């Protein structure tokens, strides 16, 4: 049960991308959407935070070979991985 957009779409990479391509795409997007970059424009900071969290979530799965394999097979469950997202939430808030 994958919601849209896919993690690959979120990072703007193809499903057959290498780990290096995924890492580069993540770093580029994380720099662009990091909430700290949007503090001068409060109207965009909520959107930036939401996008940044989506980017973090996508990268946390696609950068982990085991999680990525499960995700590609349609078997990855974000509920099982919630501890990580709680950590990310604390980091960006």
Q: In which domain, by residue range, is 19 found? A: 7-92
Q: Which CATH number covers residue 38?
A: 1.10.287.110
pLDDT for the residue numbered 67: 94
pLDDT for the residue numbered 1: 41
Residue 9, by phi and psi: left (phi above 0), alpha (psi -120 to 50) or beta?
A: alpha
pLDDT for the residue numbered 2: 44
pLDDT for the residue numbered 93: 55
CA distance 58 to 88: 12
What tens-digit pLDDT sequence spans the chain (93 residues)?
A: 445 589 999 999 999 999 999 999 999 999 999 988 888 887 888 889 999 999 999 999 999 999 999 999 998 877 766 555 555 556 655
Q: Does residue 52 fall inside a structural domain?
A: yes
Number of domains in the chain: 1
Q: Does residue 16 fall inside a structural domain?
A: yes
Question: Between vectors from CA 35 to CA 30 and to CA 39, what angle results, nearest 5°?
Answer: 140
Q: Does residue 11 fall inside a structural domain?
A: yes
């Amino acid at each position: 049960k994958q919601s849209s957009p896919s993690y690959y779409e979120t990072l703007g990479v193809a499903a057959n991308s290498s780990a290096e391509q995924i890492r580069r795409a993540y770093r580029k997007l994380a720099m662009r959407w990091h909430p700290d970059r949007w503090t001068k424009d409060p109207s965009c900071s909520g959107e930036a935070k939401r996008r940044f969290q989506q980017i973090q979530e996508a990268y946390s799965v696609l950068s982990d070979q085991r999680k990525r394999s499960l995700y590609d097979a349609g078997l990855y469950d974000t509920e099982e991985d919630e501890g990580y997202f709680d950590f990310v939430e604390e980091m960006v808030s």
